[in-house]
Homo-oligomer: A and B are copies of this chain.
Amino acid sequence: MSKLFAPRRTVVQVEESAELAPKFDAGGLIPAVVTDHGSGELLMHAYMNREALELTITTGEAHYFSRSRNKLWRKGETSGLKQRVRELLIDDDQDCVWLRVELTGGASCHVGYRSCFYRRVPLTSGGGPVELEFTESDKVFDPEQVYTGQENPTRL
């Protein structure tokens, strides 16, 4: 048990106290929601293990756990697109964290867009297949140049 985290004892402790008692799932992970500190835009949704959360708290640089590479992931170690944490929050039952970050390089998505959320799902009354709408027209960088020789992390 890390010295930073308290054990989870009661619902009142978890929801109403000042003790940091994060819940990691069966795979040892907690989801992390990452927004741009300036614009408020949602940049990405990732996961942390215990070590990644500790390193994020103690260094102020966003660390995650890469499920596709199955290892600790210091954001930007390959791409240079780092995230400096301006504010870190945790939710009511302490099973999710929220990072408000400053981007280095103006992008955080491996496909090359600023945000990972570059497509809108139109609301529809049903029927046929949904057609997504692109919300970012241009990529910020060319992923083939930035990630030369790296495997694409997307899994089908």
Contacts and interface: CB of A to CB of B under 8 A. Distances in A.
A120 B133 CA distance: 35
Size class of A's contact patch? 35 or more
Interface string A125-150: 11111111111000000000000000
A71 interface: no
29 contacts: A3-B129, A4-B124, A8-B156, A9-B156, A10-B156, A11-B154, A14-B154, A15-B111, A15-B154, A16-B111, A18-B119, A18-B131, A18-B133, A20-B121, A20-B130, A31-B45, A33-B42, A42-B89, A42-B98, A45-B91, A57-B124, A58-B124, A88-B120, A89-B135, A90-B117, A91-B117, A92-B111, A93-B153, A93-B154
Interface of A: 3-6, 8-11, 14-20, 23, 31, 33, 35, 39-42, 44-45, 57-58, 60, 85, 87-93, 96-98, 109-111, 113, 116-135, 152-156
